[in-house]
Amino acid sequence: MRKTERAKIILRELHKLYPDAVCSLDDDGDSFHFLVRSILSAQCTDRKVNLLTQTLFDKYAGMRDFADADQSALGEDIKSCGLYRAKSRAIIATSAMLLHRFNGQIPSERAELESLPGVGRKISNLIRGELFGIPGIVVDTHCGRVAKRLGLTDSDQPLQIEKDLTACIPESEWIKLGHRFVAHGRAVCTARKPSCEACALREVCLYANRS
Ligand code: SF4
């Protein structure tokens, strides 16, 4: 079966399995808070980030508070999310840039977003999709693993995975697809032991049908 035909079936089944899949990072309606959560999520689980930010935003409510923060103090406050030195530096610098260069607004344009410290392609796709509804596929570890096992890509490189997926998936599905791959990667197609016997995608999965 051709890749585009398999992709259609995969989309249909994922839609049935996870009709309401959403980003698992909390969103309190404050775009800047969502950006901070996104930066904190690098190499950290969304669950830990959500837990930490339940209290972090009591201490640092807005952009100005983060821009003026002492780096070592902020580092201590976000330590549980890992990479705390780099993340505290990035959050302070990003907050200052947003205030001084972007008038306190989160930009939607890719090059502008990716000029912010701590924001690479994955986070810019996430921000563009979640805050602005601009189609993009967020390739995280779950998405990359599931896409490769399914045979929609043979790459381990996020940019190439994104290119391979966008070539066989309609643009209108890109944002939801990332969330659905994450949901499937957590629930069924786990890193250590994928539950292929119980998986609705096994008929079209290269990994499950390897000889
Ligand atoms: S069949 Fe197995 S490897 Fe393929 S998507 Fe399902 S759980 Fe993952």
Residue 36's CATH number: 1.10.340.30
Q: What is the pLDDT of residue 161?
A: 98
Residue 57 pLDDT: 97
pLDDT tens-digit map of 38-51? 999 999 999 999 99
Q: What does the pLDDT read at residue 1?
A: 84
**Rounded Cα distance, 5 and 119, in Å:** 34
| pLDDT averaged over every residue in the chain | 97
Instruction: For residue 16, count CB atoms less than 10 angstroms from its CB and return exposed for 0-12, middle for 13-18, buried for 19 or more.
Output: exposed
Q: Based on the domain organization, do 113 and 196 belong to the same domain?
A: no
DSSP class of residue 122 equals: H
With a pLDDT cut of 90, the percent of the chain lying above it is 98
* pLDDT > 70: percent of the chain: 100
Q: Is residue 102 part of a domain?
A: yes
Helix (H, G, I), strand (E, B) or coil at 74: helix
- Rounded to the nearest angstrom, the distance between the alpha carbon of 205 and the centre of ligand 1 is 6
Q: Are 113 and 60 within one domain?
A: yes
Domain boundary among 132, 162, 186: 132
Asked, for residue 171, whether it belongs to a domain, the answer is: yes
Flag whether 211 is in a domain.
no
Q: Are residues 82 and 59 in the same domain?
A: yes
Beta-sheet strands, E only, within the chain: none
Asked about 122 being catalytic, the answer comes back as yes
Among candidate residues 44, 17, 13, 16, the one with its CA nearest the CA of residue 183: 17
Same domain for 37 and 92, yes or no, is yes
Nearest Cα neighbor of 28 from 61, 59, 1, 6 is 61
Same domain for 100 and 184, yes or no, is no
Q: Are residues 42 and 127 in the same domain?
A: yes
Q: Whose CA is nearest to atom 1 of ligand 1?
A: 202
Please, which residues have CB within 8 angstroms of residue 2's CB and are 6 or more apart in sequence? none
Amino acid at 154: D
**How far is residue 195's CA from residue 59's CA, in Å, rounded to a whole number?**
42
**Domain assignment of residue 209, yes or no:** no
Catalytic residue among 77, 122, 164, 176: 122
Same domain as 127, residue 37: yes
Give the pLDDT band (50/70/90) at residue 163: very high
130 C-alpha to ligand 1 centroid (Å):
27
- Cα 56 to chain centroid distance, Å, stands at 20
Tally of structural domains, the chain: 2
Q: What is the mean pLDDT of residues 53-64?
A: 96
123 with 65, same domain: the answer is yes
Identify whether 210 is part of a domain.
Answer: no
Cβ neighbour number for residue 106 with a 10 Å cutoff: 20
Quick: pLDDT tens for 134-148: 999 999 999 999 999
Q: Name every protein residue with a CB atom under 6 angstroms from any ligand 1 atom.
A: 146, 149-150, 188-189, 194-196, 199, 201-202, 205, 207-208
> Residue 211 above 80 pLDDT?
no
Indicate whether 74 pLDDT > 80.
Answer: yes
What is the domain extent for residue 156? 3-22+137-204
Assign 164 a pLDDT band (cuts: 50, 70, 90): very high
The domain boundary, picked from 77, 98, 132, lies at 132
Cβ atoms of residues 60 and 30 within 8 Å: no
Domain boundary among 117, 132, 147: 132
CA of 126 to the centre of ligand 1 (A): 25
Ligand 1 atom, smallest distance to 205 CA: 4
The CATH number covering residue 143 comes to 1.10.1670.10
| 23 neighbors 35 (Cβ within 8 angstroms) | no
- Which residues touch 74 (CB under 8 Å, ≥6 apart)? 60, 66, 88, 91, 92
Q: Give catalytic status of residue 16 as yes or no.
A: no
User: Do 49 and 119 share a domain, yes or no?
Assistant: yes
**pTM assigned to the model:** 0.94
Residue 81 and residue 66 share a domain:
yes
Q: Are residues 196 and 171 in the same domain?
A: yes
Q: Is 206 helix (H, G, I), strand (E, B) or coil?
A: coil
Mutate to test the pocket of ligand 1, among 17, 181, 189 (most ligand atoms within 8 A of CB): 189
